[in-house]
Amino acid sequence: MPPKIKEHTCPLCKGTGFPKSMEPARPGRRIYPVKCESCHGKGKISEMS
Ligand SMILES: [Zn+2]
């Protein structure tokens, strides 16, 4: 039986939960890991059918 909720790897962050930052690294500026907006840092996206 297939589950009702499908999970697949987030294409935006490729399953890491933290996509690469668009901004270039600047010296003196601390870079915080930004959670993926698509999967909310989970790395997987749940699809409800
Ligand atoms: Zn993601």
Does 26 map to a domain? no
Report pLDDT for 8.
93
Does 25 map to a domain? no
What does the DSSP 8-state code read for residue 10? -
Query: Is this model's pTM higher than 0.85 or not?
Result: no
Does 1 map to a domain? yes
Å from CA of 2 to ligand 1 middle: 23
Does 38 map to a domain? yes
HSE of 5 in the Cβ direction (CA atoms, 13 Å)? 4
Q: Domain tally for the chain?
A: 1
Closest Cα to residue 46, out of 5, 15, 18? 5
Å from CA of 9 to ligand 1 middle: 8
Report pLDDT for 42.
94
Per-position pLDDT tens, the chain of length 49? 766 778 899 999 999 998 876 666 677 877 677 899 999 999 999 887 6
d(CA 19, CA 15): 9
Residue type at position 29: R
Residue ranges making up the domain that contains 41: 1-19+33-49
For ligand 1, a single-atom ion, the residues with CB < 5 A are 10, 12-13, 36, 38-39
Contact between 46 and 7 (Cβ < 8 Å): yes
